Amino acid sequence: MIIWYVEKETPGYELHWGVKRVLHERQTRYQSLRVLELEDYGRTLILDDAIQITEKDEFIYNEMIVHVPLLTHPSPKRVLIIGGGDGGAAREVLKHKGVEEVHMVEIDEDVIDAVRRFFPENASVFDDPRLCLFIQDGLEFIKSKKEEYDVIVVDSSDPIGPAVQLFEHQFYSDCFKALKPDGILNVQSGSPFYNKDVMKRVKRLLSGLFKFVNPYLACVPTYPGGLWSFTMASNAYHYSTADLSRAEGLNTRYFTKELFHACFALPAFINDFLNGV
Ligand code: SAM
């Protein structure tokens, strides 16, 4: 008999995944944590009943949240990742040879422990000499930083549990201060179908701080609705001026130079709700 993991999005929309094995389950100080082996997607990390990564499709989200801002910036050397406990974003950042130092701030040590145990390929980045891992609330960490980072990637869970305030004005304003004047902030901004308000809010809040604010999309099969958004913001760099020669040799499976520009082309219904039509 097959066991199903069910992710409930709305009263009318549930995702069902066939489970091969339950590998780990616990309540951490911050959230519920589960590692399952899914029939179709392999090992899967679930926090507060939301899939964070699966072995089979995590490359899509992690390549897209990282390479777009890191290539838009002409020479990123110091990068901060807020959240990102699964290690995938850090792995992609470290593919950029010019990056000298990566700070990663994950609130929940139990996520790191579970990744070390069940996702050893991802966990190897935690021991990279260019990566410095802080187990701390990103909200507190960022407060004391001033003009330190070229790029900040907010690889947070959705706005529930410990991540709620990572979608608020105060946090974005602290990120703005923590960035060098020509820095880039990139945040995961949810599903255009199921988190329309999150996407709108992120764009509105970032537009109050940055000159260029550009949402973009990727298709992630295991996220609700399949289509996912990121929102990139900077006062100095617009994606259209990026020099993509550094994209050569990144060894990616989803991201390509062509996709870099294509991902910013938004469907009409998304433009409409973002522009308040
Ligand atoms: N790709 C994922 C997604 O969108 O579902 C996000 C990946 S990553 C696992 C998200 C991480 O953000 C989690 O490990 C969570 O513990 C961490 N997180 C949530 N709130 C945080 C906070 N306030 N400070 C630092 N990390 C936080």
Rg (CA), the chain: 18
Structure tokens at 86: 């699964």
Active-site option among 86, 137, 155, 158: 155
Let me know whether 71 and 46 are in one domain.
Answer: no
Average pLDDT over residues 17-31: 97
- pLDDT tens across 192-238, in order? 999 999 999 999 999 999 999 999 999 999 999 999 999 999 999 99
> What is the percent of the chain where pLDDT is above 70?
100
Nearest CA to ligand 1 atom 17: 83
Nearest CA to ligand 1 atom 5: 52
Average pLDDT over residues 147-173: 93
For residue 33, the enclosing domain spans 3-54
Q: Is the dihedral of CA 209, 210, 216, 221 positive or negative?
A: negative
For the domain that residue 64 is a member of, what is the CATH number? 3.40.50.150
- pLDDT tens across 68-118, in order? 999 999 999 999 999 999 999 999 999 999 999 999 999 999 999 999 999
Kindly state the helix (H) or strand (E) to which residue 118 belongs, with its residue range: helix 109-118
Compute the distance from residue 178 Cα to the ligand 1 centre, in Å: 19
Total count of residues recorded for the chain = 277
Let me know whether 85 and 154 are in one domain.
Answer: yes
Tell me whether residue 155 is one of the annotated catalytic residues: yes
Q: Ligand 1 pocket check: which of 48, 110, 157, 195 to mutate, most ligand atoms within 8 Å of Cβ?
A: 157
CA–CA dist 138, 180 (Å, integer)? 18
Let me know whether 121 and 224 are in one domain.
Answer: yes
Q: Domain count of the chain?
A: 2
Let me know whether 119 and 213 are in one domain.
Answer: yes
pLDDT at 1 over 70: no
Determine phi and psi for 251, rounding to 5 degrees.
60, 65
pLDDT at 158 over 90: no
Compute the distance from residue 219 Cα to the ligand 1 centre, in Å: 20
Kindly state the helix (H) or strand (E) to which residue 47 belongs, with its residue range: strand 42-47
Let me know whether 49 and 75 are in one domain.
Answer: no
Report the atom number in ligand 1 closest to the C-alpha of 166.
23
Considering 11, 35, 54, which residue would you say is the last residue of a domain?
54
Let me know whether 22 and 139 are in one domain.
Answer: no
Let me know whether 31 and 131 are in one domain.
Answer: no
pLDDT at 274 over 90: yes
For the domain that residue 10 is a member of, what is the CATH number? 2.30.140.10
Let me know whether 153 and 47 are in one domain.
Answer: no
pLDDT given for residue 277 in this prediction: 77
Nearest C-alpha neighbor of 241 from the set 220, 214, 267, 217: 214
Determine phi and psi for 160, rounding to 5 degrees.
-135, 165
Compute the distance from residue 161 Cα to the ligand 1 centre, in Å: 10
